Every structure is written in structure tokens, then in C-alpha cells.
Chains A and B, each alone.
Chain A
Amino acid sequence: MKAGKEKVFSKEKIPIIELQNVRKTYQMGDVKVNALCGIDLKIYKGEFVAIIGHSGSGKSTLMNMIGSLDLPTTGKIKLDDIDITTLSESELAQWRGKKIGFVFQSFNLIPTLTAIENVMLPLMFKDITAEEARERSKKMLERVGMGHRINHLPKELSGGEQQRVAIARALVVEPEVILADEPTGNIDYKSGLEIMALLTKLNKEDGRTVIVVTHERFVAEHADRIVELQDGKIIRDSKNHEFDFNNIKRK
């Protein structure tokens, strides 16, 4: 397994994301909950990784760590070779805004903004004029097949369409990594397949690094590499064709 990993993943010397012995402890009243218990993970440029596991396995916490939305209690996280645990809140926000595009289960579009305004949002916190932001956002919406509905509010769009807008928003800053948290969780199977096809296209054609957190098998099957999490630890990390889906650990 170790030898195989090196053969497949050592094309790029420096990982785009590197977690070193990451631990996260939450204080819930008097009880300490160890959400992550020493995670070591390297993700390289151009990979398509699925992180799977049951609820409570630490998936969401891991996603927050990878996405730099939250910082670990102990351990180091490097994003594009920068140790984000040393950054200030504002530096972190800017670094995150440049390097990572988020896609959420519940889309997380701002309900009072139109599709194009939602896509423009990340650009608004950068040195870009509103005209340029609008132009880029429009192109991005066309790429994800939403060019015909740019002025609709989220509530006027179907779940699949909303997720496409969310993907356009993630892509508009040209991020190194697309981080998708249960991207198909709130949409029907057919739309879910379309979303996964879109993410696959972004990975294969544009060479973008895609990380998907999911508990759905058909989603994980799109990935090249699968990382399984249980009780805050990585229990399996292998290439897709070597992964035995029938052997996913049950609680």
C-alpha cells in the first residue's frame, strides 16, 4: 500500500494540502470531545479525493480544517506550503478566499442575492472592479450551464441549479482546491450525478484539485482516491479501484 501510494502520488513534490498530526478537541460543557485524533494527510495538486465516514466520524471537522474555516487544537496545516495556523484571522480569510472554493451541502447561497451576485461575492473581497467581477461571474455561470438564469434568486432555482451556481461561485476566484461538503446531499439522484460529472470535468479537464466529503457511495466512486475516517482517525486511504466499498466500517 505504501509503495503504491508513492508511485501514484509523488508526481508533485509539494502537497497542496498537508496535515501534520492534527488534533481538534471541543469542549461540550464538562466533557471534552476529541473530534480529530492525530490526522496526517497529504493531498497533491490535481487529485480527486473523497473523504468518507459516518456521521460523528470527524468528516465535517476535517473539512473545516482543510478549508481553513477552523484551526486545529494542536498540529500543523499547510495550504500551498503556508502554515495557516500562524496566520491572523484576516490573513487567513484572504488566503482562503484565494486558494479554496467551497461547495456546501445546503448550497449556502445568499437568498437575497441573485445568481450572478452570489457568484460575484468572493470577488468583492478582492481588488477587482465590479464590472470585471460581473464579467467573470457571467462566464463562470455559463461554464456550469447556468448562463440563462443569472438574474434569478436562489429560491427560483431547483436544488441542482442552486448547486451549479454554488460551484460557479467556488470557481470564480480560480482556486487551487475545490472543497465540496456533501455536494449531492440536498438534491435528487439525477442532478447529483450531473453535479459529480461537473466536478469530475473540472478535475480532469482543468486539472483542479477536488476534495469531496460524503457518505454516499456513488459520490465517492467518482474520486481517484478515497480516505475513510472513523472516530477522528484515518482508517483507510487508497486508490479508488483498490477500495472495497463493501467493507466500510459500521458503528
Chain B
Amino acid sequence: MASFVYYLNLALRTFRHKPTRSWLTVIGIFIGITALIALISVGQGLQETIDKQFSMLNPNALYIFPGSGFYGILAATVGSVQMTDHDIKVIQKVNGIEKVAGFAAVLAGIESGSEIKYAFLIGYEPSEISLREISSISIEKGRELQTSDGYKAVVGWLYANGDVFKKKLTVGDEITIKGKKFTIVGIAERVGSEEDDKQVYIPLSTMKEIYGDIGYMTIWATVKETYPIETVAERVKVALRKDRGLKEGEEDFTVQTPQQLYETYGAVISIVQIIVIGIAAISLVVGGIGIMNTMYTSVLERTREIGIMKAVGARNRDIMIIFLIESGILGLVGGALGIGAGILISKGIETITLQTGYPFGASTPLWLIIGALAFSFIVGSVSGLLPAMQAARMKPAESLRV
């Protein structure tokens, strides 16, 4: 059996002697693998980011928000549906619930000096809940809101470190919301997304004084230890449904555990990934057909060469292996270049995303690289199978006559 190195050399000649054709052939696989690597790397990075964010959440907390299904959640987001104080009372009575708190949100104009910027104003009751509990955000400088705080505020990281206003704000500075002056008592740590880092937090009672009772965007409830969270979540659902006189399936609210929330995000990412992998697969199939076409041409061109090899002792199997390795190499080269380009693209997406403020890192695991290399080689070889069989079947005397 001939050494693999020699076969490899036979196969690599194509790149030296027919460079244009070889590179054109490689493009199909190249594009497919590029798309595959870039999209999976981004998806993988997204998954890791979400994993990290969810690991910071309290695993015993339930999130209850208005609306159900896609349109319901949309309605809740634009503020047409809200949870109420009555809902909080209902939830509080559910067996297994430890602590319940609502937080309100409104888009507000934040003023500093003569400038005004719009951002989300979040109201919560410092006696019931802390910023750390709601969203795992710590205070970088100063302190959290306290029970007695009236017109005090905690501002997002960007007010102190970014360029929201010309003047960077710090603890002790004042901001104005709806004509009322607030003293900054704390700066939140960096979350990573621009939206989160521009939020302003004030006591719920103060918010009600300014805006009236605007309801809650989300109700947050913790489950007592030893109680299974899924069971309690179901009980909350039943209690709210009963209170509102709704049948199962008619809910106009959503109760989610961190696990469910996590799975919802995971499902969305999976669907997006399946779609893009499908598109990449089409490109790979087209690339494979390209390789097949090139290999058929190559077999015809090298009929005499096949005759020579058979005359000097090559068996059908040897000829077949030579052509299979060659087509495999075409696939492999496309795959290797595609992996490089895919990683570059995913890093580019990462850079752009980081600039807009979202904490995201593309991630290309080793298994993906090895898998993509193996896969591109296999696509190449499989595409070369029929042409290689044709080559192997050629009769030596006839091949030499060409």
C-alpha cells in the first residue's frame, strides 16, 4: 500500500497545476463552512452570555408579568397592560410564597443641567426588595436605596462613566425628573448593555407621587426553601386565574421561573440556529456538487494518467483512493479557509456588539473546528465518490489509447 504522503502529494498537485479551477471549486464549501462557523460561534457566544446572566438570577424567584404569548407580551411592553397591587395581594396568599414585590417602569426624561435624556425609570420599594435581589446588580459607588429615601436615586453605570451627559455624574449630584430634584446616592455597577446601564432607580412611593398608580411591569416573588418552585409557580397561576375569572389557557399574564425564562431564550436561539444551519447546509450541498463536477472533469482529463497508473500496477482500489483523497482535500481546504473566515466574522460581530454596549463574546469551541474540518473533508470525499468510481472502472488498454 502506498504511503499516504505520496497520495497526498498526488492530490495536492491539482492546486499547483490547476489553481484557478481548484480555488473556484473550493468556494462553495468555503462559503458554507464560513457561514456555519460564524453563526454557530455567535450562537454559542450568545448561549454563554445568557448562561452567565441567568446564573446571577435568584433560582428561587418567580417573575410574573402581564400579557401572555407573543402579542400579550408586546402589549405589556408598550405599557397597555400592567400588574396591580391587588395582584400582589393575591400572590402573597399563595402557599409557598415567601416575599412579593412589584416594580414599576416608565420611560422618563432625565435632566442634568440644561440637558435632557430619555431612559427607563424603575421604581421599587427598598423596604421589600433590593436592587441586588431584582436583577443581581451591585452598587459600585455609594449605597442602595433605603426605606426613608424620598427624592433619592441610584443611577446606572453610564451616568458616571459614560457620556450620557456632558458632565459625568457622581454621588451627591442632582438630576431632575418631571420637575422634581433627586440626589444621587449610588452608582450601579456595569451590567454591559446600554439600556440597563442607563436606567435610573427611585423608591416606588416617590414614583407613585409623581406618576400616580401606573401598576407594575413585573411582580417578583420568592419561593420558600423546600417548596418546589414549579409547583408554586403553578399555584400562582391558578390563584391569579381564579381571581380574574379566567379559564385555563385564557391567561392574560405569564408566570415564569428562571428555568423557564432560560429555556424560552434557549428555544429562540435554537430556532435561529437551525434556520441558519439549514441555509449553510444548502451552500455545502451546492459546494459538494461543484466538487463532483470538477472531479468528473478531472477524471476525464486524466484518463491517460489512470491508464499509466494501472499499467504500472495500480488496482482499482488505489485509483479510487487517489481520487477520493483529492476531492476530500478540495473539501478540506475549503473547510479550513471557511473556519478562518468564520472565526474572523464572528469576532467582527463581537466587536460591533461590544461597541453598542452588550456583553457578548463570540465563542468557537475546539469541537466545532475539528467537526467542521472532518465534515468538509467528508463532503468533499462523498462528492468525489461517483467520479472516483468511474476512474477506478476504466480499462487500462482503452485509457492509454486516449
Residues of A whose CB lies within 8 Å of any CB of B are 64, 67, 69-70, 89-90, 93-94, 96-98, 102, 104, 108, 110, 112-113, 117, 120-122, 124-127, 129-130, 133, 169, 173
Choose from A96, A125, A127, A130 the contact partner of B5 (Cβ within 8 Å). Answer: A130
From A67, A70, A102, A125, contact of B2 by CB (8 A) = A125
Contacts of A97 in B (CB 8 A): 312-314
Interface of B is mostly: helix
Task: Give the number of chain B interface residues (Cβ < 8 Å).
Answer: 29
With both chains docked as a complex, state the minimum distance between the C-beta of A248 and any C-beta of chain B, in angstroms.
25
CB distance from A26 to the nearest CB of B (A): 11
* Structural contact, A124 and B400, CB atoms closer than 8 A: no
B67 to chain A, nearest CB (A): 68
Contacts of B312 in A (CB 8 A): 97, 102, 121-122, 125, 169, 173
On chain B, the residues within 8 Å of A130 by CB distance are 3, 5-6
Indicate whether B310 reaches chain A with its CB closer than 8 angstroms. yes
Known contacts A70-B396, A124-B6, A112 near B13 by CB under 8 Å = yes
Given contacts A108-B304, A125-B318, A130-B6, whether A67 and B313 have CB atoms under 8 Å apart is no
Contact between chains at B313 and A110 (CB < 8 Å): no
**Residue contact A94 to B311, C-beta cutoff 8 Å:** no
Whether B130 is near chain A, meaning CB under 8 Å from some CB there, is no
Q: Are A90 and B317 in contact (CB under 8 A)?
A: yes
Given contacts A112-B17, A113-B13, A124-B3, contact A93 B314 (CB under 8 A): yes
Minimal beta-carbon separation of A208 from chain B (angstroms): 17
16 contacts between A and B (CB under 8 A): A64-B397, A70-B397, A90-B315, A90-B317, A93-B315, A94-B315, A97-B313, A102-B311, A102-B312, A108-B308, A112-B16, A112-B17, A122-B313, A124-B2, A124-B7, A126-B313
> How many angstroms from the CA of A93 to the CA of B5 in the assembled complex?
22
Chain B residues whose C-beta falls within 8 Å of the C-beta of A120 in the assembled complex: 6
Contacts of A122 in B (CB 8 A): 312-313
In the complex, which residue of chain A has the Cβ closest to the Cβ of B4?
A130
Question: What chain A residues lie within 8 Å of B395 (beta carbons)?
Answer: 70
Residues in A with CB closer than 8 Å to B10 are 113
Interface centre among B7, B311, B400, by most chain A C-beta atoms within 10 angstroms, is B311
A90 and B316 contacting across the interface, CB-CB below 8 Å? yes
Q: Is the CB of A127 within 8 A of B313?
A: no
Distance A129 CA – B2 CA, assembled complex (angstroms): 7
Query: Does the CB pair B316–A98 fall under 8 Å?
Result: no
Q: How far is the CA of A47 from the CA of B305 in the complex (A)?
A: 30
Tell yes or no: B337 within 8 A of A by CB: no
CB closest residue in chain B, given A124: B2
B309 at the interface (CB under 8 A from A): yes
Q: Chain B residue with minimal CB distance to A64?
A: B397
Render B363-402 as a binary contact track against A, CB cut-off 8 A, 1 for contact: 0000000000000000000000000000000011100100
Q: Say yes or no: is B1 at the interface (Cβ < 8 Å to chain A).
A: yes
Q: Which residues of B contact A104 (CB under 8 A)?
A: 400
Q: Collect the chain B residues with CB atoms within 8 Å of residue A69's CB.
A: 310-311, 396-397, 400
Give the Cβ gap from A93 to chain B, nearest Cβ, in Å.
5
A102 contacts which chain B residues (CB < 8 A)? 311-312
Cβ 8 A contact of A125, one of B315, B396, B400: B315
Question: Is B9's beta carbon under 8 Å from chain A?
Answer: yes
How far is the CB of A213 from the nearest CB of chain B, in Å? 13
Query: Which B residues are in CB contact (< 8 Å) with A90?
Result: 315-317
CB distance from A211 to the nearest CB of B (A): 14
Q: A110-B308, A120-B6 are in contact. Are A96 and B315 (CB under 8 A)?
A: no
Partner pick for A96 among B9, B16, B304, B311, CB 8 A cutoff: B311
In the assembled complex, the CB of A124 is this many whole angstroms from the nearest CB of chain B, namely 4
Bound complex: CA A98 to CA B311 (Å): 10
In the bound complex, residues from chain B placing their C-beta under 8 Å from that of A67 are: 311
Contacts of A112 in B (CB 8 A): 13, 16-17
B393: nearest residue on chain A (CB-CB)? A89
Closest residue of chain B to A179 (Cβ to Cβ) is B311
Q: In chain B, what residue has the closest Cβ to A95?
A: B313
Q: For residue B310, which residues in chain A have a CB less than 8 angstroms away from its CB?
A: 69, 93
Compute how far the CA of A108 lies from the CA of B311 in the bound complex, rounded to whole angstroms: 10
Chain A residues, Cβ within 8 Å of B396? 69-70, 93
Beyond A93-B310, A93-B313, A112-B16, 9 additional pairs, beta carbon < 8 A: A64-B397, A69-B311, A93-B396, A104-B400, A108-B308, A124-B6, A130-B6, A133-B6, A173-B313
